[in-house]
C-alpha cells in the first residue's frame, strides 16, 4: 500500500508509504494520493488532514526517477501527460483542498516532495529535515508547480537560488524564508501537526473553508480583485450556522455590558 490513511476523530493522517524508496512518488503513488484526497474531501467527518512520509529519513525524495525517465524517453507529449499534468493535478488539489492540509516534513523533501510542501497551506518540519530543488541536475525545471509557487512564497531571488543550484537547505532556513511554519524536534512532529490541526478545527468548518478559499484564490490577484474574492467568501458564510453560533457565543458571554 503506497498511501496509508488513518482516521482519528476529525483528523485524517495520510502517510506516503514507500520508505525503502525514500517515499519517492511513482505514478501509482500520485494517483493513490489524489484518490485519498478525493475520499477525504467527500467525508464531512474529516475536518483536517496531516500529510507525512513513512520512516525518519524522508518525507518524499521527489518523483520516482525510473518512471520519469521512461516517460521522457517516450517523447514530449507523453512526458507532459504523465509527469507535468499529473504533478500539476496533485499540487493544485493540495493547494485548493477545502480542508486544511498540514504537511509534517519528517526528513528530506526534494523535488516533488518540496513542491507538495509549497502547495500545502501549512507545513511543519522536523529539525533534521532538508529541502531541495534538484530537478536542474536532471536537465529540466521543476514540473510539479515548483517554479511558480516557490518564488511566490519565498521571493524571486531566494526561490531562484534553490531552483538554479539544486542545493539543499536545512529546516531552520526553510522556516526563516517561509517555506514552513515552524521547526520542531522530530519526536514531536506529528503531535505538533495534530495540535495545529486541533487549533483550526475548533472553529466552524464553513469558516475554515472560506478562509482557505479566500487566501488561495486571492493571494496572486491585484488587490481589488482579491478584495472581491474576500467579499464573496464572506457572503457565503453569512447564512451559515457557524456565523450564527459564533455571534451568539460572543453576545452571550458573561459580563458583557
Give Cβ neighbours of residue 154 (< 8 Å, ≥ 6 apart).
162, 177, 178, 179
What's the CA gap between 130 and 200, in Å, rounded? 26
Instruction: Kindly name the residue from 95, 115, 118, 225 that is annotated as catalytic.
Output: 115
Q: How far is CA 8 from CA 50, 133, 142, 249, in A?
A: 11, 33, 34, 27
230 an active-site residue? no
118 an active-site residue? no
Buried b (16+ CB within 10 A) or exposed e, 158-173: bbeebbeeeebbebeb
Instruction: Kindly name the residue from 135, 161, 176, 225 that is annotated as catalytic.
Output: 135
- Residue numbers annotated as active site: 115, 135
Amino acid at each position: 500500500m503506497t498511501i496509508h490513511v488513518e482516521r482519528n476523530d476529525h483528523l485524517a493522517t495520510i502517510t506516503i508509504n514507500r520508505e525503502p524508496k525514500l517515499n519517492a512518488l511513482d505514478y501509482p503513488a500520485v494517483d493513490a494520493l489524489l484518490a485519498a484526497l478525493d475520499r477525504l474531501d467527500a467525508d464531512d467527518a474529516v475536518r483536517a488532514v496531516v500529510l507525512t512520509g513513512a520512516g525518519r529519513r524522508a518525507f518524499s525524495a521527489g518523483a520516482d526517477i525510473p518512471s520519469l525517465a521512461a516517460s521522457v524517453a517516450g517523447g514530449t507529449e507523453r512526458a507532459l501527460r504523465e509527469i507535468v499534468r499529473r504533478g500539476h493535478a496533485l499540487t493544485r488539489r493540495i493547494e485548493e483542498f477545502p480542508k486544511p492540509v498540514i504537511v509534517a516534513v519528517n526528513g528530506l523533501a526534494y523535488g516533488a516532495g518540496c513542491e507538495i510542501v509549497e502547495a500545502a497551506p501549512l507545513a511543519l518540519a522536523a529539525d533534521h529535515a532538508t529541502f531541495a530543488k534538484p530537478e536542474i541536475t536532471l536537465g529540466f525545471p521543476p514540473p510539479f508547480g515548483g517554479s511558480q509557487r516557490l518564488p511566490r512564497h519565498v521571493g524571486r531571488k531566494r526561490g531562484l537560488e534553490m531552483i538554479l543550484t539544486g542545493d539543499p537547505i536545512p529546516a531552520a532556513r526553510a522556516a526563516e524564508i517561509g517555506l514552513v511554519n515552524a521547526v520542531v524536534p522530530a519526536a514531536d512532529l506529528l503531535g505538533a501537526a495534530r495540535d495545529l490541526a486541533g487549533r483550526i478545527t475548533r472553529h466552524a468548518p464553513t469558516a475554515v473553508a472560506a478562509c482557505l478559499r479566500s487566501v488561495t484564490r486571492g493571494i496572486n490577484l491585484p488587490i481589488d480583485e482579491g478584495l472581491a474574492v474576500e467579499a464573496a467568501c464572506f457572503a457565503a458564510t453569512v447564512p451559515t450556522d457557524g456565523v450564527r453560533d459564533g455571534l451568539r457565543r460572543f453576545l452571550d458571554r458573561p459580563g458583557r455590558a
